[in-house]
Amino acid sequence: MKRLQQSVDPTDILGRHTLVVESVTESPLTQGNKVTLLADGPATYAAMFKALQHAKDHINLESYIIEDDEIGHKFAELLLQKQAEGVQVNLIYDSVGSMNTPAAFFQRLRDGGIRVVEFNPLNPLENRGEWRLTHRDHRKVLLADGKVAIIGGINISGVYSSNPLRRKHNEAPPIHWRDTDVQIEGPAVAELQKLFFDTWQQQKGGEISAHNYFPALKEQGHALVRVVGSTPGETNRIPFIMYVSAVTFAKSSIHLTHAYFFPDDQILKALVAAAARGVDVKIILPGISDSPYALYAQRHHYSALLKAGVKLYEHRSSLLHAKTAVIDKVWSTVGSTNLDFLSLLNNDEVNAVILSREFAAEMEAMFARDLADSRQIQWEEWEKRPMLPRVREWFVNVFVRWL
């Protein structure tokens, strides 16, 4: 934290944050991007289907979960149709996230000419390098013609973000899932394309037929966008630095929405320090989850945050799966990165950082809607809790790195 605060001049959040992140990543801050906010699955799927239908040259799709259900079948049919039309389709899926999807589902895609790569196969005999069960591809990225990108937290599934270890085949979602994606058009799309091909090469996906994967990209809007990708052992600290620097330099407001919130001591200290200097810190977390242990782990941190003046809320009616933030009404991020140890240490993740007052206003409006559907946790109520949940939360937190 001291190094972070001393590393740049005390200017505005944009200048300070830009200098910090540029010092640890080669991804540039690109201008001239159009960013469209996509709230929940129906809006995201509609945008994805439109991008797929309009693709003329190629489609690159990377997803943690691709399920053998109605949504998965719709994607499969459209991808096969585009491949038959001469549009090259390249697909990466995670072996753990998609472990309930039968091999025949992906073989049908291969038989139709689609290039398919399984990320870190569960079977060590099929692995193409060092076998690491904990290294997962948690990214969700769709790229069409190298001109349109859609990223966020939504997988290809009717139950698009449930736990694959506990999900039954073709199980209907028991409750609405609340999630967020963004569609990006403009120069930042090329940075997402680079990440896709980096993963393809690392997984030894083989040669891909020549297509126009990096077309000339014209400015489409006014948003500044930085693509923040991470890989364990190489760049896994970048999302952490992204969050800590943004929180550290916040002047007026920090509004976070996170599905899995198990922050380390530095992130906690940054949030506490922000509240102490008068920043309006609000965090919306799940009130229900696909993992009860995740709820226990997040609640372990409530006391320290509440005593510091951080306002905590639990979403009531939906299963919250979004991973977003909006700070000082100008800095926003949407992506796949959770504030937990799996995301920050073990997974391949990707976020878009958007610097735009117009887009931040949309994020604030979405945050306000989520806030209206959430219950605030009050310190007076929280400190009177019985002993059993306190012990349970402490015990689960001991094993938090494996949640």
What amino acid positions are annotated as catalytic residues? 138, 140, 145, 321, 323, 328
Cα dihedral sign for 255, 258, 262, 266? negative
Burial class (CB in 10 A: 0-12, 13-18, 19+), 2: exposed
Outline where DSSP puts E strands in 260-355: 280-286, 311-315, 319-320, 323-327, 331-335, 347-355
- What is the largest distance, in Å, between two alpha-carbon atoms of the chain? 64
Which residues partner with 315 through β-bridges? 286, 374
CA dist., res. 13 & res. 246, Å (int): 7
Token pair listed for 140: 């969700």
* Spatial CB neighbours of 365, under 8 Å, sequence gap ≥ 6: none
CA dist., res. 86 & res. 75, Å (int): 17
Token pair listed for 399: 């094993």
Place of tokens 């309006």: 280
CA dist., res. 330 & res. 354, Å (int): 8
Residue count of the chain: 403
* Spatial CB neighbours of 27, under 8 Å, sequence gap ≥ 6: 191, 226, 227, 228, 229
> What are the start-end ranges of the H helices in 95-253?
103-111, 189-202, 238-248
Q: Are 212 and 146 in contact (CB under 8 A)?
A: yes
* CA-closest candidate to residue 14, choices 241, 246, 187: 246
Which residues partner with 320 through β-bridges? 178
CA dist., res. 289 & res. 70, Å (int): 23
Cα dihedral sign for 75, 76, 79, 85? negative
Place of tokens 């976070």: 256
DSSP label at 321?
-
Place of tokens 């810190």: 281
